[in-house]
């Protein structure tokens, strides 16, 4: 199975309003609610692709109970979340129906006790024994040490499990030092990590900081990959209109699914790019449009080259 780690899971609420006017009162015309947090989103895409996937991280309180109830409805997904005493956070995405723009409100998450963090590390170690790859995704909740991801990366490497890291800020800066096999930043995270705004130069710097491979997601321009085997760019056939929420999580799912199928890098990047584009095209934020995925996949342009043998 593929393991995804979401230390700061969330109950994602979407409120659709005719038009968002700050300082006013709004009647919400449509409400949706579903399990979230980046690793949970990655797992949902992996399960939809037919992979066995296990979700771990933390869940607590009433919001955590709703989240776990809803995860049981996803075929192929196993819930190995560790219970905590604090309540799982909510996120609220307010979608303005007129402009199509989304305003996001993210609660900070429960404070994790030292004993809860220790319990998680034990569960994580056990799960790695049967994992073919692991993704470490998203922000750290209060109470988890800022160097947490570096430790989790090292545990995976010791267990011989390929590990991908997708986070931001201090958690990213500290995590990359653990030498993850794959780092998946977006352009902004990569610039913040390295100080370089030119993606190629920034990706080279991120590899020097410890990442084996860097796959940078550059929004509508697609992916840039610097790997030990070569360097590539992958781009969708056209600029696509839609909601980019979850596009980065679909990149992670695409990369890991193709990795465990032993596909070469150009195939991994094509799949990640097509999945990401099909997520932008989906009417529901964070879902992907499967016919669009299948239609786009053969048309993704991958350029670059493998290193000389």
168 binds a copy of itself (CB under 8 A): no
Nearer to a copy of itself, 15 or 263 (CB): 15
31 binds a copy of itself (CB under 8 A): yes
241 binds a copy of itself (CB under 8 A): no
Q: How far is CA 269 from CA 119, 187, 214, 231, 300, in A?
A: 35, 16, 12, 11, 9
Nearer to a copy of itself, 29 or 303 (CB): 29
Nearer to a copy of itself, 52 or 107 (CB): 107
Distance CA(199)–CA(210), nearest Å, equals 17
23 binds a copy of itself (CB under 8 A): yes
> Taking the complex as a whole, how short is the minimal distance between the CB of residue 225 and a copy of itself, in angstroms?
26
Residue tagged 């991280």 (tokens): 57
Nearer to a copy of itself, 20 or 123 (CB): 20
Catalytic residue list = 249
Size of the site for a copy of itself (CB under 8 A): 30
Nearer to a copy of itself, 35 or 180 (CB): 35
The dihedral formed by the CA atoms of 3, 9, 13 and 19, expressed in degrees to the nearest 10: -100
3-state secondary structure of 206: helix
Q: How far is CA 5 from CA 63, 213, 235, 304, in A?
A: 18, 19, 28, 31
192 binds a copy of itself (CB under 8 A): no
| Residue 4 β-bridge partners | 55, 135
> Taking the complex as a whole, how short is the minimal distance between the CB of residue 27 and a copy of itself, in angstroms?
6
Nearer to a copy of itself, 107 or 205 (CB): 107
> Taking the complex as a whole, how short is the minimal distance between the CB of residue 67 and a copy of itself, in angstroms?
11
Determine how many CB atoms are found less than 10 A away from the CB of residue 101: 11
> Taking the complex as a whole, how short is the minimal distance between the CB of residue 69 and a copy of itself, in angstroms?
9
The answer to whether 228 touches 213, Cβ cutoff 8 Å, is: yes
Distance CA(146)–CA(126), nearest Å, equals 22
Stretch that binds a copy of itself, among 62-70, 71-79, 183-191, 271-279 (CB under 8 A): 62-70
218 binds a copy of itself (CB under 8 A): no
Reported as type and span, the H/E element at residue 36 is: strand 30-36
Cα 36 to the center of its chain, rounded Å = 10
- Within residues 84-143, the interface with a copy of itself by CB under 8 A covers 90, 92, 94, 96, 99, 101-108
The token pair at 95 is: 């979608």
Residue tagged 């020097």 (tokens): 208
22 binds a copy of itself (CB under 8 A): yes
Interface residues with a copy of itself (CB under 8 A)? 13, 15, 17, 20-29, 31, 62, 65-66, 90, 92, 94, 96, 99, 101-108
């Amino acid at each position: 199975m593929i393991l995804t780690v979401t230390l700061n899971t969330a109950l994602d609420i979407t409120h659709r309003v005719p038009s968002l006017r700050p300082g006013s009162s709004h009647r919400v015309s449509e409400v949706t609610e579903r399990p979230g947090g980046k690793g949970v989103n990655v797992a949902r895409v992996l399960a939809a692709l037919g992979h066995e996937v296990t979700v771990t991280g933390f869940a607590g309180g009433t919001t955590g109970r709703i989240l776990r109830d809803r995860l049981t409805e996803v075929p192929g997904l196993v819930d190995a979340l560790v219970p905590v005493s604090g309540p799982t956070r909510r996120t609220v995405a307010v979608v303005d129906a007129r402009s199509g723009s989304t305003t996001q409100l993210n609660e900070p998450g429960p404070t994790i006790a030292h004993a809860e963090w220790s319990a998680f590390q034990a569960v994580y170690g056990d799960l790695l024994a049967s994992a073919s790859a692991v993704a470490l995704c998203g922000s750290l909740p209060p109470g988890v040490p800022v160097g947490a991801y570096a430790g989790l990366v090292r545990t995976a490497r010791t267990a011989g499990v390929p590990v991908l890291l997708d986070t931001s800020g201090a958690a990213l800066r500290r995590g990359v030092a653990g030498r993850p096999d794959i780092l998946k930043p977006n352009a902004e995270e990569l610039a913040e990590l390295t100080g370089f705004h030119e993606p190629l130069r920034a990706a080279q710097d991120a590899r020097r900081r410890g990442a084996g491979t860097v796959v940078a997601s550059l929004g509508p321009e697609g992916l840039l990959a610097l790997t030990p085997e070569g360097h590539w760019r992958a781009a969708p056939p056209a600029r696509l209109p839609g909601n980019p929420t979850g596009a980065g999580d679909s990149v992670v799912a695409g990369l890991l699914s193709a990795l465990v199928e032993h596909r070469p890098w150009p195939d991994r990047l094509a799949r990640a790019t097509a999945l990401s584009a099909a997520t932008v095209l989906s009417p529901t934020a964070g879902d992907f449009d499967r016919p669009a995925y299948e239609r786009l996949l053969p048309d993704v342009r991958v350029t670059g080259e493998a290193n000389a043998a």
